[in-house]
Each structure stands twice: as structure tokens, then as C-alpha cells.
Amino acid sequence: MARRERHNSQAADEGFVLPFVLVVIFVLALTSAIAVRSINASSQIIIALNDDVQAQQRLNSAEADTLFVYLTSAPVKGGIDTSYTVWTGEDVLDGFDVSRLAESAIWSATGGIRSSHYPSGEVRVTYRDVAGFIPMNRDTPDLLLPLLSGVGLKKEDAQSAASKLGDYTDSNHQRRFRGGERADYRLKRLPPPSDAPLRTYEEVYHILEWDKYITPEIYNRLREYSTLTTATTYYRTKFLSSRVKEIMGLDATRSNVRRLAQNNVDLVDTASTAIETPTKQGRFYFSTPMATGRTAIRVIELERSPLAPDQPFRRHVVFEETRDAGDTDNTEDALGKVSKPVFSTADHAEK
């Protein structure tokens, strides 16, 4: 009798062990699956972070290379001479005979492309003179109204936006028609106008009612077609992109050119339509592909200060962002499908 009870007890224990083992195996398998999934996710995060770090390193290196070339090259007709040719005073007075230079020596200021190669990848650099953009910090309706209409605002909205921009940046407290001064900002419980030029594009959202005018698409176009520099107060027709010429009314007949030039307030602007030498300021677009399939973009403006040895240049970041593979950076009117190296001379050739 006792032997039968022990046998039944062993059978019951054996019947309990098998489901228990199966449960343990299931729990271990589930835990392993979760662990593998977490490891994969962590690996993807690490890869993305490393990809971003490498992209930033490439952009920094390309910017340093470009800065060196820009500061050490001579401005000539159409762009900068990267061959380090010695130009005499007579050459300058004659307007630079760039025909005696190799084609690769001139980095065009109307969208010329160069590239830099690094162990982790390539960076493409596009150069356009700042005089090819419309200055937003200039209180000139004949420039601002076509610009604001060209980026997508209706005529009345463009007039209101231009007036409010003028009141935001000027130093007086006289309210313009459709504008807005301190009292209007207090009424809306907004910070007062800066009474100073715009320093970043993000600042446009601080301007009274601009948040209802500026959509993300219009904001991006505004960055592409304008500049916030205060050093250059006029455009040079030579360096305008086809899109900017179109919205400013400069792409049709010579009569349109004369009409707009006459409205540009001072004689300096009128004379600038014939100038082919770039200014001391350039906008550079840096783009580099990432392993994740996205593209890292950095856009800066550089200003030469040759008479200030303690501060030979100024740097202003226009914007920096990462775009999807389907998006394109600003290469409108970019010259040439095949880019040249940033350093085009033998003694500075990239290895």
C-alpha cells in the first residue's frame, strides 16, 4: 500500500515537472527575444549617433578647408581665383583678365560646386555671393515687397508683413501704415520689437502677426532667397539665381531691369547691376550623405575683413539641419554636374 502511494506521488511530480520546464523555456525564449530586440535597437541608436558625429566632423573639416580657400583667394570676375595667381594693380584696373586662368581656377560665385573627400565620406560645397540674395534688413519696400510676394504671400499680406518688419527693426517709434510698434505688441502681450536688424531667421516669428503669414514652406523659401547681412545693402544682378531674378522682375526685358534699378533708392544699387566681381561676403552650402540615407546640411555666410588682422573674417550660420534623401539642398543654377576639389592647386591637392 505504501509502495503504491509513493509511485502515485512520483507520477504526479513527473506530470508537474514537464509543464514547469516548458514554462521556463518559454520565459527564457521571450526574455532572449526582448534582449535581442533591445540590443538591435541600441545598436541602431549607436550607429545613428556615430553617423551623425562623422557627418559633423566632415562638415567641420570641409568648412575649415573652404574658409582657407576663400580667405586666400582673389576676387575676380565671376568668382574667386583659387590658383593663387599674383594680380598686379594694372590687372585690377583692367578688370582681371580671367581668360588666362585655367577653368578649374575660378570658383564661380553664381553656384559653383566644389567637393572635399575624407575617409568617412564626401562633402559637396556650393558657393554663391551674398549679393545674389535680397537683404531683409534693408528698409526698402521696392526690394521687400517683391521678395515677400515671391515667397508666397498675397499682395496685401506682403505689404503688411513689410511694414511690420520695418517697425520691428527700425530705431524710431513711429508706426507705419499696417505696421506695429511697442503699443501694438503690448496689446497682444508680446515682447517689444528689437529696434535692431534681424540676427537669425527664427526671429521673424517674433514680429507682430508674422506667425500667421509664414508657413514652413514660405519660411524655407525666405531663407533661400534672402540674406540678413547688414554689410551688403544691395544685390548684384550677375549673382542672382534665376528664381530670385524672376520674383524681382529682372528676368524679362531690359526695361524691367531699368525700372527696378531706378526704384532702388541710391546710385550704388543702379551701378551694381553691371558689377561682375563678388563682394567680401559669400554663402556656402555644405551637404554630405549619411549612412542612414539622410543628408546633413549646413549653410553659412562668411565675410572677409582684410583690414582687421585680429579678426580676418566673420561667420554667420544661416541654418543647419538633416534632410531626408528625397529632399534637395539649394543648388539652383549650380554650375557643372561634376564638382571640382575645394583645393584646385597641386600644392594643396587633396590626398
| Residue 116 and residue 61 in contact, taking contact as beta carbons nearer than 8 Å | yes
Examine the pLDDT at 5 and tell me if it is beyond 90: no
- Tell me what the pLDDT averaged over the chain comes to: 80
pLDDT at 219 over 80: yes
Reference 120, options 75, 30, 60; nearest CA is 60
From the list 317, 314, 311, the residue with the least C-alpha distance to 280 is 314
Instruction: For the chain, state the CA radius of gyration.
Output: 30
Alpha-carbon distances, residue 9 vs 22, 23, 322 (angstroms): 21, 22, 69
Q: What's the rounded Cα separation, in Å, for the pair 62 and 229?
A: 23
Runs of H (alpha helix) within the chain: 2-72, 89-93, 141-150, 155-169, 182-187, 210-213, 216-225, 242-247, 254-262, 267-272
For the record, the C-alpha cell of 12 comes out as 504526479
Q: Among 60-64, 156-160, 248-252, 324-328, whose mean pLDDT is lowest?
A: 324-328
pLDDT per position as a tens digit, 81-119:
888 877 766 666 555 667 777 778 889 999 999 999 999
pLDDT of residue 346: 46
pLDDT given for residue 271 in this prediction = 57
> Higher confidence at residue 24 or residue 119?
119
pLDDT at 13: 53
Look at residue 31 in the predicted model and tell me its pLDDT: 74
pLDDT tens for each residue of 254-302: 444 444 444 444 455 555 566 788 889 999 999 999 888 889 999 999 9
User: Considering only 51-60, 180-189, 322-331, which range has the smallest mean pLDDT?
Assistant: 322-331
Give the lowest-confidence range in 96-105, 150-159, 164-173, 314-323: 96-105
Is residue 321 over pLDDT 60? Answer: yes
- HSE-CB for 197 with a 13 A CA cutoff: 13
Q: Mark residue 217 as left, alpha or beta (left: phi above 0; alpha: psi -120 to 50; beta: remaining).
A: alpha
Question: Assign residue 195 a region: left if phi > 0, alpha if psi is -120 to 50, beta otherwise?
Answer: left
Residue 275 is predicted with a pLDDT of 77
User: Is residue 215 helix, strand or coil?
Assistant: coil
Residue 87's H or E segment, with its range, is none
C-alpha torsion 188→151→108→52, nearest 10: 60
- The per-residue pLDDT for range 124-138, each reduced to its tens digit, is 999 999 999 999 998
Q: Is the pLDDT of residue 75 over 50?
A: yes
When pLDDT is cut at 50, 70 and 90, the band that residue 311 belongs to is: confident
Whether residue 50 has pLDDT greater than 90: no
3-state helix, strand, coil in the chain (%, to 5): 45, 20, 35
DSSP assigned state of 175: P
All domains of the chain, ordered by start, with CATH?
55-132+275-348 (no CATH), 135-219 (1.10.40.60)
Of 133, 132, 131, 128, nearest to 283 by C-alpha is 128
Quote the CA–CA distance of 144 and 94 in Å, as a whole number.
35
Query: What is residue 67's predicted lDDT score, i.e. its pLDDT?
Result: 94
| Of 13 and 325, the one with more pLDDT | 325
Q: What is the pLDDT of residue 256?
A: 45
**pLDDT higher than threshold 90 for residue 3:** no
Here the cell at position 257 is: 531691369
The answer, yes or no, to whether residue 205 has pLDDT greater than 90, is yes
Higher pLDDT, 23 or 120: 120
pLDDT at 97: 67
pTM as predicted: 0.78
